[in-house]
Amino acid sequence: MGFEALLGNETLKQNLTAAGRKGKLSHFYLISGPEGSGRHTLADLIAAAMLCREPEGPCGVCRSCRKVLSHTHPDYITIDDPEKKILPVRLIREARSDIFIRPNEGDKKIYLFPRGQDLNIEGQNALLKVLEEPPEYGVFLILADNPDKLLPTVRSRCVELKMRSLSEALLRSILTREFPEADSQTVSAAILRSGGYLGQARKLMSGAAVSDTTRTFARCYAARDVYGLLSLLVPMEKWKRDALIPELGAWLEVLEQAIVCRAGLPAALPEAARIAESRHPRDLMAHCQVLKKAMEYAQGNVSCAAVCGWLNWALR
Ligand SMILES: [Zn+2]
């Protein structure tokens, strides 16, 4: 299997394969790139390569590899709390003492930080202490969509692996295989809007990414149906914030696509194309800001009821 499960990024894969053969994989990797660029796949493959029981891992089939790839290996530990916007320093301190307990099954103990950009200065300083004096079996894989948010002292200790976008031809062949029903215009629009990153292109292609609530929002918004919007938002007042925030994120995505569509580029969602025809760009820009604000409020201490009430007024 090797690193082939990661698509594209040939130079990076060759370098890692060569380092693996020489037994020279680093203890600290910073894997940078936007969402959907394959950072998680790469981190899993590096961890599998380090814990694989075969001579030239990752083989992908031994017990160790399978446990790593399904995130059930006791020596491959994720440090995150998805509920918190900033990664709590407590978790980093816990990892710092946990690392001195020897690995359970393998020769390495690997810590994955999926949101490096969400570490505050205190958290990064806590991390730095262990990066300075790790036990010889300790490994850190830090993922970040914006590596500039990391302190130079943290960054300089890591080998940085930058995820590259995939070629249009490669993306087209993958998407056409995975979505055989889609027409070529939809595929082209998804490729264009994905920035060349497969995860984002897949998300754009997947009709499931748009919920019924989002479709109803798009229909009411395009038709300036104030009553329809009110009927949609009132029941949402009782939603939990972890459901409300991604839903508003999907609304924002529809409006952003409508803006792209007004600029003459194809939209992956038919709903966005309809909005682009009926609403003024000035409204679209203002309402994107409104939705961003609403998501911020919901992430803070404002109740979902108050956020939905405000949206009903602010989205007109
Ligand atoms: Zn293996």
> How many A from CA of 5 to the centre of ligand 1?
13
| Distance (Å) from CA 66 to ligand 1 centroid | 7
d(CA 295, ligand 1 centre) in Å: 42
Same domain, 15 and 158: yes
238 and 147, same structural domain? no
Residue at token pair 């083989």: 59
Q: What ranges in the chain are assigned the alpha helix state H?
A: 10-21, 39-51, 63-69, 89-98, 121-132, 152-155, 168-178, 184-194, 198-205, 212-222, 226-236, 241-262, 270-278, 281-299, 304-314
Tokens of 20: 């693996």
Model's pTM, two decimal places?
0.71
**15 and 128 inside one domain:** yes
Residue ranges making up the domain that contains 274:
210-314
φ and ψ of 112, to 5 deg = -105, 125
129, 162, 195 - which closes a domain: 162
Which residues make beta-bridge pairs with 32? 144, 162
CA of 15 from ligand 1 middle (Å) equals: 19
Residues 124 and 226 in one domain: no
pLDDT tens across the length of the chain (316 residues): 789 889 999 999 999 999 998 889 999 999 999 989 999 999 999 999 999 999 888 999 999 999 999 999 999 999 999 888 899 999 999 998 999 999 999 899 999 999 999 999 999 999 998 888 889 999 999 999 999 999 999 999 999 999 999 999 999 999 999 888 888 888 888 888 888 999 989 888 876 457 789 989 999 999 999 999 999 999 999 999 888 998 999 899 899 888 888 887 776 677 888 899 999 999 999 999 999 999 999 988 899 999 999 999 999 8
**Same domain flag for 236 and 135:** no
Residue 173 lies in a domain: no
- Look at residue 205 and tell me if it is in a domain: no
Question: Residue 87: which CATH number?
Answer: 3.40.50.300
